[in-house]
Structure 1
Amino acid sequence: MYKNQINQQPLVTLLSDFSDRNVYVGIIKGVIAQINPRLTVVDLTHQIPPQDIAAARFCLMNAYPYFPVGTVHVAIVDPGVGSKRRVIAVEFAQGFLVGPDNGIFSGVLSQSPATCAVELTNLNYWRTPQPSKTFHGRDIFAPVGASLASGVLLKQLGQEIDPASLVKLDVGECKQTSTGVVGCIQYIDHFGNLVSNIPGSYVQGKTWYVQAALLSIRGCETYSDVEVGEAIALVGSHGWVEIAINSGNAHLQLQLGSQETLQVVLS
């Protein structure tokens, strides 16, 4: 168990596709409070598009570096709930991950590899030994996350598994070419910005543009470098090359979507 530098209870974060129109998130927080009402619970987001594991993967990968070491991240975007897919908890350098083994954690683990992983087979840490077939967030992930944050050791939660066996989500590869880098759109945010899987380090200090479909979009530093309504390519706060429209929605206006190929051309 990690020790917080200022000797506080570790945080628990929640990420899901439950939205705020249902009681599901409130129920999960109630389960956590039943185990340890002193825990601080932070909502990363509950607005992941339904069943969109790739979006959840990206959002969690983007968020985890900003939390203290020892934070427990509970992520629940789980179209396979109730099936034979594994329920897991993972330890990595920054803390813990709790959720389904469906690739939702593969973004985080690509940056900070797992040091230990378990399948959650110890029913003593579930809310009930007969969990709902449709709400593992309530009956498994919330109580396990609260237990971890309260000091329960990872290996007490179940059977240890090989971290290499964890499901990896294929979001496309980023490949260098003779003229630049080829990648794809890995995420579309609330503003319609098209976030690629090309790290911003490739374009740092260079003159560049993005080719996507039949479009050529010049690389700039800020949205204000182009006129309102004009397309722009830049490195977002997340560190990835993205396509945006100044004061507009690139997803709708350019008709580009997830997994579409794009190329950064260095000039």
Structure 2
Amino acid sequence: MIEKKKRRPIITLTTDFGTKDSYVASMKGVIVSINPEADIIDVTHEITAGAIKEAAYLIDECRHFFPEATIHLAVVDPGVGGERRPLVVEAGGQVFVGPDNGIFWPAIDSDPAALIYHLDNPSYFLASVSSTFHGRDIFAPAAAHISMGVKPASMGTAVSEPVRLAIKAPAVEEGILKGEVTRVDHFGNIITNLRREQIEDAFKDGELPVVKIGGIVLKGFSRTYMDVPEGAATCLIGSSGFLEIVVNRGRASDLLGKEGTGPIGSICEISKASR
């Protein structure tokens, strides 16, 4: 019988640091200095600078594909050094380490039993803490210590009211299913927070839905990109189960004009086609 190998602790990284500078490498160096066995997985370092909602949605989208006890370290922190608290969160069987700015709100909101702590025990920080790089000096060492078995409850005091993120939760209003744009991916696909099941529930009678985002108006859905001619836009359900607006061999985000650089939070409406 083959002996099952013990899984190394997983720490994911999500930041808006990019890869030009040494910021990400410094955080990884701190982590492996504390726990050489940590398995560090980069989610992305290309979050739009300071775009908390974009990061929150991306973390929430991918966290479900990681095993229990995964530690998600996220640093999109425009308030670094200010009044915002550093947090450790236990939710959905996983741990989240980062700023109290709403970045973990989707995970917290989905788990009524979530435990939240103000990371205020300096025993788990680096000896010297910069006022501008808590990712390296507070969050990275905290995540590494958790991966070594330290309990989040020992890292700080309980928090009852974390910062909430202003999210347009999917809802039907006057016969129109409304949600919002969560992000634009590398290919220019516009991704929303509307799930397949929500759309199917709202349009059970088989009527052809009309999708509107900004100046984009599309009728009906496709199964694949290739269902429409090259350069044409369409709607489909993407690999994560959410509604996307796409262009076959093109960038749907370009259809939003100037908004294409930052449509996060734009309202998406799905209604029945008028007869």
Shift of 1:113: 4.4
Shift of 1:193: 1.3
Cα distance change on mapping 1:152 and 1:178 into 2, 3 Å: same
Q: Does 2:233 correspond to 1:231? A: yes
Identity %: 34
Q: Tell me, yes or no, if the aligned pair for 1:171 and 1:186 is still in contact at 8 Å.
A: no
Paired with 2:38 and 2:265, the residues of 1 have a C-alpha distance of: 38
Paired with 1:200 and 1:18, the residues of 2 have a C-alpha distance of: 33
Q: AA paired with 1:247? A: R
Please report the TM-score for the alignment, with normalisation by the length of structure 1.
Answer: 0.91
Q: Does 2:140 correspond to 1:142? A: yes
Paired with 1:17 and 1:213, the residues of 2 have a C-alpha distance of: 26
Q: Tell me, yes or no, if the aligned pair for 2:11 and 2:71 is still in contact at 8 Å.
A: yes
Where does residue 171 of structure 2 map in the other structure? Answer: 175
Shift of 1:174: 2.3
Paired with 2:112 and 2:17, the residues of 1 have a C-alpha distance of: 28
Paired with 1:6 and 1:166, the residues of 2 have a C-alpha distance of: 38
1:42-191 aligned at under 5 Å gives the runs 42-113=41-112, 115-128=114-127, 130-162=128-160, 165-191=161-187
Q: AA paired with 2:6? A: N
Paired with 1:19 and 1:226, the residues of 2 have a C-alpha distance of: 34
Q: AA paired with 2:9? A: P
Paired with 2:182 and 2:142, the residues of 1 have a C-alpha distance of: 30
Q: AA paired with 1:52? A: A
Paired with 2:120 and 2:83, the residues of 1 have a C-alpha distance of: 13
More displaced stretch, 46-55 vs 255-264: 255-264
Cα distance change on mapping 1:170 and 1:89 into 2, 3 Å: same
Q: How many residues align?
A: 260
Q: Tell me, yes or no, if the aligned pair for 1:234 and 1:241 is still in contact at 8 Å.
A: yes
More displaced stretch, 247-256 vs 136-145: 247-256
Where does residue 36 of structure 2 map in the other structure? Answer: 37
Cα distance change on mapping 1:14 and 1:212 into 2, 3 Å: closer
Where does residue 210 of structure 1 map in the other structure? Answer: 211
Paired with 2:145 and 2:215, the residues of 1 have a C-alpha distance of: 52
Q: SS of the residue aligned with 1:243?
A: strand
Shift of 1:252: 1.1
Structure 1: state its 5+ residue gaps: none
Q: Tell me, yes or no, if the aligned pair for 2:54 and 2:264 is still in contact at 8 Å.
A: no
More displaced stretch, 228-237 vs 195-204: 195-204
Q: Tell me, yes or no, if the aligned pair for 1:90 and 1:114 is still in contact at 8 Å.
A: no
Q: Tell me, yes or no, if the aligned pair for 1:98 and 1:145 is still in contact at 8 Å.
A: yes
Q: AA paired with 2:212? A: Q
Paired with 2:222 and 2:130, the residues of 1 have a C-alpha distance of: 50
Where does residue 271 of structure 2 map in the other structure? Answer: 265
Cα distance change on mapping 1:117 and 1:234 into 2, 3 Å: same
Cα distance change on mapping 1:214 and 1:14 into 2, 3 Å: closer
Shift of 1:188: 1.5
Where does residue 197 of structure 1 map in the other structure? Answer: 193
Cα distance change on mapping 1:183 and 1:85 into 2, 3 Å: same
Q: Runs ≥4 in structure 1, deviation > 4 angstroms?
A: none
Shift of 1:117: 1.3
More displaced stretch, 213-222 vs 244-253: 213-222
**Residue deviations 1:41-61 (CA, integer Å, cap 9, x gap):** 111111111111111111101
